[in-house]
Chains A and B, each alone.
Chain A
Amino acid sequence: MRAAVITFPGSNCDRDLAVGLEMVGAEVTRVWHKDSTLPEGIDLVGIPGGFSYGDYLRCGAIAANSPICAAVKTHAEKGGYVFGVCNGFQVLTEMHLLPGALMRNAGLKYICKTVGLEVGACDSDFLSNYTAGQTIQVPIAHHDGNYTATPDELDRLVGEGRLAFRYTDNPNGSVRDIAGITSANGRVLGMMPHPERAMEEAHLSADGARLFAGLLGAITTA
């Protein structure tokens, strides 16, 4: 699997994501936000966590309009894989690659802790190494993770089996406990929790590594 990880001004999980992908065997190229093209032959684009552009205007709004994101949109429209974590999830909603929006946490506090996630009955290569209904442990670290969408969009997400992860104990007020969703084709995944911070037992959980390994396995055998 060949992956590109984007760095925006203010990204701070870009290295973590690149190292996490390399740990499972991906070949990773780092890409700068001012680039207008992705490297040739990329399978996956990773949009990392952090505070792109200082969260000015709205989280992810400026990054979503940066030169590289036009190329990311084209990549997704051609059926390429895109993974956005935390601020990356916010960027994906601002790009309209995923529906809905992420608002300030209901409790107004920044939350940094490991949480339980229930894996959804969601047909996505990102979830290849998980079983629907199982609970995994992955850290969150965000101030604006309160997912919302219109009732129609929520019904569509549920009906099309696109709820990838739900909090077992909702920390931020997200509607229907949503922690992560996919695109209709299952190839774009956005989630607030950080699987790249749950790569080995020293991180208190290695559940995140299975997400990357599962995707790599699915792409390799495809």
Chain B
Amino acid sequence: MKARVHVMLKNGVLDPQGEAVRHALGALGFEGVDGVRQGKVIELDLADGTTEAEVNEMCEKLLANTVIESYTVELS
């Protein structure tokens, strides 16, 4: 089984990299890009039977820094 973890800066935490990307898109002539947030995707290959709770624990302990980041888990 696989899990896909999306890690994003929490709402309200300034994302300077996203802001830089937004400015660059504007410089390329793309209009109407009001905001850009940049995060990361982590794909996990897991032994069958791994529970969502275990993946959440991986996120809490290592994959995300919950001081500044939020995460969502997709299992497939």
Contact = CB atoms under 8 A, between A and B. Distances in A.
B17 A104 contact: yes
A161 interface: no
B65 A108 contact: no
10 contacts: A57-B62, A65-B61, A101-B65, A103-B9, A103-B16, A103-B68, A104-B16, A104-B17, A150-B67, A173-B14
A107 B67 CA distance: 21
B75 interface: no
Interface of B: 9, 13-14, 16-17, 20, 61-63, 65, 67-68
A106 B65 contact: no
B67 A100 contact: yes
Interface of A: 57-58, 61, 65, 93-94, 99-101, 103-108, 146, 148-150, 173
Given A106-B14, A108-B16, A148-B13, A101 B63 contact: no
A65 B67 contact: no
Nearest to B64: A58
A205 B61 CA distance: 40
A198 B68 CA distance: 32
Contacts of B17: 104, 108
A interface SS class = loop
A107 B16 contact: yes
Contacts of A149: 67
Contacts of B13: 103, 148
Contacts of A100: 67
Given A100-B67, A103-B68, A105-B16, 4 more contacts: A61-B65, A101-B68, A103-B9, A106-B14
B10 to A, nearest CB: 10
A154 to B, nearest CB: 12
A99 B65 CA distance: 12
Nearest to A175: B14
A94 B14 CA distance: 19
B5 to A, nearest CB: 11
